[in-house]
Structures are given as structure tokens and as C-alpha cells.
Structure 1
Amino acid sequence: MFKTTVTPRFGDIDGLKHANNISIAIWFEQARNPVFRLFTPDLDLSFEKWKLILARSEYDYVGEINYGFDVDINTYIARIGNSSFTIGHEAWQNGKLCARGLVVIVHYDFINKKSVPIPETIRGALEEHLIDAESSGKK
């Protein structure tokens, strides 16, 4: 599991003094960087090097996230397929689960515009972070 700590900024907070739902999506994207580095170590966004495309995302907001307290993001691999994999995220604040989400990422060849199998070496690295999504939700 990868861990990232985010400090909510003033602009992340809405009129109800809670983290805006789009902020959580942005924090989860930031927390995916260690996974992205498995495929593109320098995070170079050129078509020749970048190999991933987001195919699906879903979010559950299960508690409030407030300004003034850090948010811990846990990131794990929930499923690995032939050319795609699912990343799970959890946002915790003050010991409470506040949001969770899943995204499906496809290993993709942007030049030829098609999905490609995940290389075995990267598959092995992903498997090191494989956690059953049903058993997550525990800090």
C-alpha cells in the first residue's frame, strides 16, 4: 500500500466548510503517482513514454473532511487484469474513513491507440500492493 498525506488548502473547502468533492478526486490522482512511476519512472508525459489512460472512476463520500487537519490517502491495487488494473483509494482524517474510490487504469499505447498487456515485471510490482477491496477500509 502506498501512503500520501495531503494538507487541505483553503481553496479545497466549500461553503459548508468541507472538502469539495473535486478536491478529493484531485488528491486521489496525486496519490496515484507512485503507481504511475512503476510504468514511467520519470513521469514524462510525452506520448512516447506515457503508457496509462484512466478508463473509469468512482467515489464514495462517507464522512466529512474539514479544513485544518491533514488527510491520509491510502492507495492500493484492487485488481490486475491483462491490460488494465484497478486502483483503490481511501481518505482518512483524524482516524476516520471519509472517502474511498476506485479507478480503472489501462496500459495503453498512445501511438497505435490500443491497450497492451501489462509487462510481467510491472505486474509483479503491482502485485506487491494488491489488497482485496472488500477488506480495505481499515487503517
Structure 2
Amino acid sequence: MFSDEFYPRFSDTDALGHINNTCIPVWFEGAREGVFKVFSPDLDLKTWPLILAKIDVHFHAQIFYGEKIEVRTFVSRIGNSSFDVYQEVWQQDECKASGTAVMVHFCYQQQRAVAIDENLKQILLSHAPTQEKRS
């Protein structure tokens, strides 16, 4: 599991006083940096090996300004050339939002998906969700 903790910015709030729903996908993308580093340790955009194929977000409860949040990031599925990144937003010991991003290992020169090698798969598997990590 990867974990990022931070306080929401004031600009993340909406007119109702809670965190705007458009912030969650942005937070999830930022918290995927650990996954990105598995494929590109220096995060060099000239040799970037991933594309985002799909995201979904589920909202479970309101998230509030002024209270620390934690984004937990797991690798929940690994295929031949794609994998799922499952993420949760936690605040005050409660899961407030969750979502999944489908990432594809991609060669921009060839403009096609490429297989994830076994070494990378093993590293990704070390970030699979377990019951004790999620609760």
C-alpha cells in the first residue's frame, strides 16, 4: 500500500462547505505517484510508460476542510499489459471515497500496449490490498 496524508486546501471546498467532488480524482492521481515510480523511478516524462484507460469514483460520505485526509493506494488487479489501482480517501477513521483507475503499460513510439514484465508484476503485487491494510 502507498499512503499520502495532507490537509485539503481551502480552494478544494464548494459552496456547501465540504470538499468538492472534482477534487477526489485529482487527489487520486497525485497519490498514484508511488505506482508511477515502479515504472519510471525518475518520473521522466520523455520515457513515460503508462496511460490512463479509465477511472471511477464512489462517494461514501462528505469530506471536510480543516481535517487531515489520507489517500490509500493499492494495486488490485494485474493483467498482461494493464492493471487496476484501487484508492480510498480516509478522514477521521472513515472511508469517505473510493475509486479505481485502469492503467496500461504503453509504448508511445509503437503506439500500443506492452506486456508488464514479471519483475514489475511482483513489485505491483507487493501493494495488493489486504484486510489489515484497508481497515
TM-score by length of 1: 0.93
CA contact (8 A) 1:97 1:137 kept: no
Superposed, which structure 2 residues align to 1:38-53 within 5 Å?
A: 38-46=38-46, 49-53=47-51
Structure 1, residues 104-131: CA drift from partner, whole Å, max 9, x if none?
A: 0000001110000001111110011122
Structure 1, residues 43-84: CA drift from partner, whole Å, max 9, x if none?
A: 1111xx100000000000000100000111110011000000
Amino acid at match of 2:84: T
Q: How many residues align?
A: 135
Instruction: Report the counterpart of residue 78 of structure 1 in structure 2.
Output: 76
Separation of aligned partners in 1, 2:7 and 2:107: 35
What root-mean-square deviation, in Å, do the aligned CA atoms of Structure 1 and Structure 2 show? 1.5
- Secondary structure of the 1:28 match is helix
Instruction: Report the counterpart of residue 17 of structure 2 in structure 1.
Output: 17
Superposed, which structure 2 residues align to 1:1-139 within 5 Å?
A: 1-46=1-46, 49-131=47-129, 138-139=134-135
- Secondary structure of the 2:22 match is helix
Separation of aligned partners in 1, 2:49 and 2:22: 25
Q: CA deviation at 1:137?
A: 8.9
CA contact (8 A) 1:17 1:66 kept: yes
Separation of aligned partners in 2, 1:136 and 1:104: 24
Q: Where does structure 1 differ by over 3 angstroms across 4 or more consecutive aligned residues?
A: 135-138
Q: CA deviation at 1:138?
A: 3.7
TM-score by length of 2: 0.95
Amino acid at match of 1:10: F
